[in-house]
Amino acid sequence: MSTFLLVHGAWHSGQCWERVVPLLASAGHRVVAPSLTGFGDKAHLLGPEIGLDTHVDDIVRLVTEEDLTDVILVGHSYAGLVISSAANRIPERIAHLVYLDAMVPEDGETALDVHPVTQALIDRAAKSEVGWRIPPMPELPPPFGLFGVTDPDDAAWLRTMLSDQPVLCFRQPVRLDNPAVQTIPRTHIHCVAAVPEGIERRPVPAIQPNGSPAQVWELETGHDCMITMPAELSELLLKLG
């Protein structure tokens, strides 16, 4: 039995994994899908002081308080930053890092470094009445939809779980200065359908930091694959458990 810890991306909540959790659990694995501070059941805690460091603390605290080990740590989108810094702090508890259509940072980088287009979101927020909070990305015509979700019912469900994202999340740097974190195997899952303009994915090096060949899988769907292709995503994740 493995423990899957699923970390949602910006603007989302842990509820976005609702279709994936039972599929992994039915295969005999423990699955944890928390909402980060400021989102979901913790939406009332949203504030200008909430940043990447807050969310890293959320994950490290959960892992240590629940005494989780051999964790398959999955980070979607922005959460690629979260799982990187969290693994840097507790590498001995992490068995595998999964970057799910995620930002993949180097030590000291912010979301702005990985995706410079993020600056436009911060600039837009700065012109609003509440300059520290960034509203969710707007829904676009198909094939882009709302974070890649085009089914009207699914998009309506997704809208119920979205919250504003604090600017500090995109400005605080990732820490990857613990040599032990480089030994953790990595898998990259890319959602390759309907990628919005301005979103450029960094090439995955042929060799992982631990010296093994890169492992890159693709899903023919939009960004929120846990909503649009939960069975296919779960099938991939189960290869790691």
Q: Hey, what are 169's tokens?
A: 């999340």
Per-residue pLDDT tens listing for the chain (241 residues): 899 999 999 999 999 999 999 999 999 999 999 999 999 999 999 999 999 999 999 999 999 999 999 999 999 999 999 999 999 999 999 999 999 999 999 999 999 999 999 999 999 999 988 899 999 988 999 899 999 999 999 999 999 999 999 999 999 999 999 999 999 999 999 999 988 777 889 999 999 999 999 999 999 999 999 999 999 999 999 999 8
- CA atoms of 100 and 23, how far apart (whole Å): 17
Beta strand pairing call for 71-76 and 3-7: parallel
Name residue, tokens 């002081």.
49
Domain count, the chain: 1
Q: For the chain, what's the residue count?
A: 241
Q: What is the pLDDT of residue 171?
A: 97
Q: What is the pLDDT of residue 167?
A: 97
Q: What is the pLDDT of residue 229?
A: 98
Cα torsion through 70, 76, 79, 85, rounded to 10: 40
Task: Specify the CATH number for the domain of residue 37.
Answer: 3.40.50.1820
Domain extent for 131: 3-238
Q: What is the pLDDT of residue 240?
A: 97
Q: Burial code of 212-233, b = ≥16 C-beta within 10 A, e = fewer?
A: eeebeeebebbbbbbbbbbeeb
Q: What is the pLDDT of residue 162?
A: 97
pTM for this entry: 0.97
Q: Burial code of 111-129, b = ≥16 C-beta within 10 A, e = fewer?
A: beebbeebeebbeebeeee
Q: What is the pLDDT of residue 200?
A: 85
Catalytic residues: 77
- Give me the DSSP letters along 48-97: TT--HHHHHHHHHHHHHHTT--SEEEEEETTHHHHHHHHHHH-GGGEEEE
- CA atoms of 31 and 226, how far apart (whole Å): 14
* 3-class SS of residue 123: helix
